Amino acid sequence: MLDGVPPGGYPVVVLPPPEIILASGSPRRRELLARAGLAYEAEAADIPEEARPGETPRALVERLAQEKAAAVRERHPALPSRIVLGADTIVVIDDEILGKPRDAAHARALLTRLLGRTHSVLTGVAAILTGPGSARTLCVESRVTMRDATPEEVRAYVASGEPLDKAGAYALQGEGRRFVRSVEGSETNVIGLPMEETLALVERARRGAG
């Protein structure tokens, strides 16, 4: 038998794992990373996502991003050194955090509240190495202005099912764009992961691993 070649077979090649572990079950974040050409695997963190008393929106998303990354890091060995990315996105209007809708009626109420007004979308992103070390974090804010819409338009959109798992009950990357007049800042942030800032954060984490 040749070294490394089993009888009647081919050499066994063990590929290294992807450099990045995305601590999220979001298909939108997975798509954004794939479009950026990053090799990654994804795991949902499954942590509680409630705000603490007196916690600001910015502090909330940064904390949840860190906790998601840390929870997934615990499942992996320190070596080979890999980068765990955690992220959390919220919608804020009138200093109130709007989460994902409980049902279709709640989705209609959330979206109606945003129509004809400008709201903020904040995403916290954290990068942490699988070995020892602290997380690098950032928060990106975008401002989204929506047009007015009729109740019939809102009902038809909610009936499509698209907004039922989205913060604020709309998806910029989908049919929800019809309600959006303008976006000030990162559009990928509104979708769930600010890519320009995330790529810079990954590069900082790479330098930290070296």
Question: Is 118 contained in some domain?
Answer: yes
Question: Is 13 contained in some domain?
Answer: no
Give the domain extent around 113.
20-209
Question: Is 7 contained in some domain?
Answer: no
Q: In this structure, what CATH number is given to the domain that contains residue 25?
A: 3.90.950.10
Per-residue pLDDT of the chain (210 residues; tens, 9 = 90+): 455 555 666 666 666 789 999 999 999 999 999 999 999 999 999 899 899 999 999 999 999 999 999 999 999 998 889 999 999 999 999 999 998 899 999 999 999 999 999 999 999 999 999 987 788 999 999 999 999 999 999 999 999 999 999 999 999 999 999 999 999 999 999 999 999 999 999 999 988 755
Please state, in angstroms and rounded to a whole number, the distance separating the CA atoms of residues 46 and 41: 16
Residue 1 is predicted with a pLDDT of 47
Residue 201 is predicted with a pLDDT of 96
Question: Is 3 contained in some domain?
Answer: no
Please state, in angstroms and rounded to a whole number, the distance separating the CA atoms of residues 209 and 161: 42
Question: Is 41 contained in some domain?
Answer: yes
Task: Name the residues annotated as catalytic.
Answer: 88
Question: Is 5 contained in some domain?
Answer: no
Which of 89, 81, 113, 77 lies closest to 29 in space, CA to CA?
89
Question: Is 10 contained in some domain?
Answer: no
Domain count of the chain?
1
What are 59's strand-pairing partners? none
Question: Is 140 contained in some domain?
Answer: yes
